[in-house]
Amino acid sequence: MKRYRGSKVQKVKEVVVLPLELITQILLRLPVKSLVRFKSVCKSWLTLISDPHFTKMHFELAAAPAQRLMLISGRALAPKVLSLDMNASLNNYSAYVELKVSCAAFPSTFVRIGGSCRGFLLLDCFRHLCLWNPSTGIHKQVSYSRMATNGDILFSMFRGFGYDPLTDDYLVVQLLDRLGKPGNLAEVFSVRANKWKKVEAIDMMFMPTGSRFSQNMCGLLLNNCIHWLTYCIKLPMILSVIFAYDLTERRFLEIPLPVDFDDNKLHSRVLRELAGFLNLCATVEWNYSLEIWVMKEYKVQSSWTKTIVVSLDHLPTGLFFPICSTKNGDIIGNDGETGLTKCSKEGELKENRPHCNVSFRHPLAVYKESLLSLPCHTQQAVEDN
């Protein structure tokens, strides 16, 4: 538009106001990191991006939400919380982002990751549990149940975190070991109801593990079920077993192992979700290798297939504990000490970063970036400094 004033011609820029529907469609296609920044553009954008309906649509529309690897460094007094872009080079230092955490979410230096679901991480803070969204800072403290703090209970044997789509509820599941008494106790915490509830436990006799923070005691979420791998006493034998808790049917079940899975030949073993499938990773002592089995059809025993054999002789530390897979099929794992290793889907070494300050004894977690909130009124948000 031109305006004439005397002999001068002034150009006036026209302000184009986009319809709210169009703005919404544009924002729905942006990454979480950008949307978090755009909350400060104006009040209307803050309201829109914070709206539960918008955040749910954003999560569901993302064909492949950005996945990151959460690491907690092994510093006793001042632990660092790092988020790693899984698809970047392990030696690309810009791919490691140190996250800002609040004292409320991390009240002590004793913090362990117990699982992840829809952008939230389950943290065990030693005195209580915490559900934390690292992308937004939203968190909720969850008190230990009375059953878990009762003198009749030793510790939580197994714990996991997941989501029930039928009730739009986040659930914390734990199986409790009784002090030398027969039978296990199980309970579920509902975020929506904000309380613990006792449920029927699985009828198995488990071997003591000695630590509630072992990798296999933190549940693996897949197909609306939380999975654990452990040893079960089936006299006169002690065998490996996979059991799960179905979050929609609210019951425990057993997942069959491969038919030719030989406990006697295997050393360490972990469950992992790689490329959307349930994977069983086990170290074979006699030929010093790592075998990775994939369950191609969920719950079908005959679908277990040995897909990868990694020779540990060619790795820097001689150890490899898989954690996650990248978009192109590479597998990232811990090197058994304080570093990370990346192998190709054929089992060949691609990268190694020896010093990440991460202990292989502490579970790491893969999480998806999201703007989601929790279905309760008691959640807290991190205050800006």
pLDDT, tens digit, 9 for 90 and up, residues 174-199? 988 765 566 788 999 999 999 999 99
Q: What percent of the chain has pLDDT over 90?
A: 39
Q: Which residue has the tokens 């924002």?
A: 27
Burial (CB count within 10 angstroms: exposed 0-12, middle 13-18, buried 19+), residue 24: middle
Residue 383 has pLDDT above 50, yes or no: no
Interval 326-378: pLDDT, tens: 988 999 988 877 788 999 988 888 998 876 655 555 557 899 999 999 987 65
213 versus 314: the higher-pLDDT residue is 314
Which of 360, 364, 263 has its CA nearest to residue 318? Answer: 360
Q: What is the 3-state secondary structure (H, E, C) of the chain?
A: CEEEECCEEEECCCCCCCCHHHHHHHHCCCCHHHHHHHCCCCHHHHHHHHCHHHHHHHHHHCCCCCEEEEEECCCCCCCCEEEEECCCCCCCHHHEEECCCCCCCCCCCCCEEEEEECCEEEEECCCCEEEECCCCCCEEEECCCHHHHCCCEEEEEEEEEEEECCCCEEEEEEEEEECCCCCCEEEEEECCCCEEEEECCCCCCECCCCCCCCHHHECEEECCEEEEEEEEEECCEEEEEEEEEECCCCEEEEECCCCCCCHHHEEEEEEEEECCEEEEEEEECCCCEEEEEEECCCCCHHHEEEEEEEEHHHCCCCCCEEEEECCCCCEEEECCCCCEEEECCCCCEEEEECCCCCCCCCCCEEEECCCCCCCCCCCECCCCC
Provide φ and ψ at 71, rounded to 5°. Answer: -125, 140
Average pLDDT over the chain, rounded to an integer: 82
Band of pLDDT at residue 6, cut at 50, 70 and 90: low
User: Does residue 276 register a pLDDT over 70?
Assistant: yes
Provide the pLDDT for residue 61: 86
* Rounded Cα gap, residues 206 and 186, in angstroms: 14
pLDDT band at 277 (very low <50, low <70, confident <90, very high): very high
User: Is the model more confident about 38 or about 216?
Assistant: 38
Q: What is the pTM of this model?
A: 0.87
Using the predicted structure, report yes or no on whether residue 208 has a pLDDT greater than 80.
no
Structure-token match 């955040």, residue found: 55
The model's pLDDT over 37-89, given as tens digits with 9 standing for 90+, comes to 999 889 999 999 999 999 999 998 875 667 898 887 655 556 678 888 989 99
Strand order in the sheet with 331-334: 321-325, 331-334, 340-343, 349-353
- List C-alpha distances in Å: 5 to 10, 11, 318, 376: 7, 11, 80, 60
Confidence band, pLDDT 50/70/90 cuts, at residue 210: very low
Identify the pLDDT of residue 194: 93
User: Which residues 6+ apart lie within 8 Å of 152 measured at CB?
Assistant: 178, 179, 181
Distances (CA, A) of 269 to 3, 160, 278, 322, 341: 76, 18, 13, 10, 17
**Is 273 within 8 Å of 220 (Cβ atoms)?**
yes
Angle between helices 52-61 and 20-27 (to 10 degrees): 50
Of 303 and 360, the structure prediction assigns the larger pLDDT to: 303
The percent of residues above 70 in pLDDT, for the chain, comes to 80
Position 12 scores a pLDDT of 58
